[in-house]
Amino acid sequence: MTGKTLYDKLWDAHVVRREEDGTALLYIDRHLVHEVTSPQAFEGLRLAGRKPWRTDTVVAVPDHNVPTKDRDQGVADPVARTQLETLQENVNTFGITFFPMGDVRQGIVHVIGPEQGATLPGMTVVCGDSHTSTHGAFGALSMGIGTSEVEHVLATQCLLQKKMKNMRVSVDGHVGPGVTAKDIVLAIIGRIGTAGGTGCAIEFAGEAIRDLSMEGRMTVCNMAIEAGARAGMVAVDDTTIEYVKDRPFAPKGEDWERAVAAWRELQSDADAVFDHEVHIDAADIVPQVTWGTSPEMVVPVTDRVPDPAAAGDPVKARGMERALEYMGLQAGMPVTDIRLDKVFIGSCTNARLEDLRAAARVVEGRRVAEHIKLAMVVPGSGLVKQQAEREGLDRIFRDAGFEWRDPGCSMCLAMNADRLEPGERCASTSNRNFEGRQGLGGRTHLVSPAMAAAAAVAGHFVDVRTL
Amino acid sequence: MMERFDKLNAVVMPLDRSNVDTDAIIPKQYLKSVKRTGFGPTLFDDWRYLDPGEPGMDHGQRRVNPDFVLNDPRYQGARILLARKNFGCGSSREHAVWALTDYGFRVVIAPSFADIFFGNSFKNGLLPVVLDEAIVDRLFEEVQAHPGYTLTVDLEAQVVTTPSGESFPFEVEPFRRHCLLNGLDDIGLTLQHADEIRAYEARRRAEAPWLFDAGPRA
């Protein structure tokens, strides 16, 4: 018998029953809820006269719609306000743990789950948000779900699922200075494509992944979905356990000892077989910049914007031409010639303390370029913000000309007031460069926090390693 | 309750782009709604209209983009969307499926779908059909060559049939097919196994008690 992968182990530990065709009822340990994808699910429960199965697994927080400044004035947008009030009503009605705006623990759902220790190794974690893959960094099976599934999990504590395939992406060796988790994951997506992991759970492995902090591993797993994989994960090691220890929701005392012993098993066996294996040499990775309207449209900062004529496949070439037109770029131009209008440092991909520190190191003693209309830092949570302020990072950013905001999803998806105007070009530490993602007609380039900070200072992309 | 699906003959609308993401299917500003309905008029909003849209607008008064396929008179009444690979990638927003069904689509045919969108579709009576890329290429040629082109999609028989009688079989997971054919509420089905869920919980609680004491601890 061959060994099991990490995903096999997590799957097997959570199967409640199997249908004849292999569809399984999978038990869910943690259900994270935000305001956008939950109202219809709670309404569905009410209409059917059903009660939530186990409310103690649910943690709710507003993040997508919340304003990132002038919070004392409330939420100006009446439609957003209704949605936020609906979440408040639902958590009150059903007795759900809730971190409202104004609570220092409020923040982006994928930042606060791990921060609170609500995400633990070995758990199944779901949320009505595709970036739930983030939590896999803890050796958890975590997946984004739709609203019908949110309702299903609320009502039954289970998810109906078919097992995915096993894929392992190994990043071998060590990255050079100035190359971050974001560059690693963008390079992976550039290699395997935006559908490269469709139907798979991806385990990220190799020395370069082991070298990463938990923040870095979260950045990598966060973008598994941009490679098409609903779940990304990293095996448990000392880095994982150190991070989890003493967090508010983490087990304590004897439970802690038992839990750690169990978590140590959360590794793929040496003889486990994967359906797909990809190897990437860490030493080859340089800071990445996306040039197009899909995360797979990415190149090293040292490179040029690619030419559709070289694509081969006509459907792909048309897609590239459309992307170049939308982005207002010329094939063959150096990436460092791309001039920016706005800079956004934030999102569930890159708004943790380590990200803000990396950006601040680049910014310190420098100024945002004259023509940059807005450079903003949106911390991932109130606690991240508080700690950053203790370290004086807010001062560094403000002195350089950045705005320092309150936590939320903000301009990653521009549901609140933070957005690009048509034609504006943004260096963004978020996860999606889709057409209109950051505002109708807006042009998004995905980069690491250090690269975004460097771009803010230079006014155009620049290789952060040369600063 | 979910609308059941068995067989449909309908006009096909071709959307000739790969990696159509859920932000394109329904832009973020409409996600502030707390309802499941009313998303049809803003399906593909950024491509479909020339002016910016906001929730609560009368979308009938907006300037339509005559070059976008959804506004082409020959595809009016289409209930089958023909798409390229990786359709529905990106966000998990089920609003994308609600927008397609609210507009009137019951089937999307593509060489591949993103996982979350694929699952969301079945929960809402929208059938995603995967056909080989070469077949999809041919269907694009046929639909563009023949105004009023229709296809018949038969879920019971798992086959797509062209007007000339050519047919292409497709795969569907038996459980999903069963639920869609019968319009079954899968929460109701799952709750039939409540005892098994409780038995699992009892077993699991003994193995991993920390998972059952989930609140913040002092």
Q: What is the C-alpha separation between A129 and A146, in angstroms, rounded?
A: 7
Quickly tell me which residue has 């496949």 as its tokens: A313
For chain B, how many helices (H) and strands (E)? 8, 7
Say if the Cβ atoms of A248 and B216 lie within 8 Å. Answer: yes
Q: What is the DSSP letter of A407?
A: S
Say if the Cβ atoms of B193 and A25 lie within 8 Å. Answer: yes
Q: Which of B173, B190, B198 to mutate to test the interface with A (most CBs of A within 10 A)?
A: B190
Quickly tell me which residue has 């897609």 as its tokens: A319
Please choose, from the candidates A25, A17, A61, A56, the residue with its C-alpha nearest in 3D space to the C-alpha of residue A152. Answer: A25
Q: Where does B7-210 sit in CATH, by number?
A: 3.20.19.10
Q: What is the DSSP letter of A274?
A: -
The H or E element spanning position A402 is none
A409 known member of a binding site? yes
Work out the minimum CA distance from B160 to partner chain A, whole angstroms. 23
Q: What is the C-alpha separation between A239 and A120, in angstroms, rounded?
A: 13
Amino acid (one-letter) located at A79 = V
Model confidence at B133, pLDDT cuts 50, 70, 90, reads: very high
Q: What is the DSSP letter of A421?
A: P
- Considering only CB atoms, A83 lies closest to which of B34, B85, B213, namely B34
Work out the minimum CA distance from B159 to partner chain A, whole angstroms. 20
Instruction: Indicate left, alpha or beta for A383 from its phi (over 0: left) and psi (-120 to 50: alpha).
Output: alpha
Reported ipTM: the value is: 0.96
Contacts of A113 (CB under 8 A, 6+ apart): A30, A32, A59, A119, A125, A127, A134, A135
pLDDT in tens, B64-80: 999 999 999 999 999 99
Q: What is the C-alpha separation between B13 and B33, in angstroms, rounded?
A: 27
pLDDT in tens, A393-416: 999 999 999 999 999 999 999 999
- Residue in chain B closest to A316 (alpha carbons) equals B18
pLDDT in tens, A176-232: 999 999 999 999 999 999 999 999 999 999 999 999 999 999 999 999 999 999 999
CB A144 within 8 A of CB A37: no
Q: What is the mean pLDDT of chain A?
A: 97
Contacts of A398 (CB under 8 A, 6+ apart): A404
Domain ranges (residues) in chain B? 7-210
Q: Which domains does chain A have, with CATH numbers?
A: 1-285 (3.30.499.10), 288-458 (3.30.499.10)
Q: What pLDDT does residue B215 have?
A: 63
Report whether pLDDT(B217) > 60.
no
- Residue in chain A closest to B56 (alpha carbons) equals A79
Instruction: Indicate left, alpha or beta for B149 from its phi (over 0: left) and psi (-120 to 50: alpha).
Output: beta
Question: Does the beta carbon of B76 lie under 8 angstroms from any beta carbon of chain A?
Answer: no
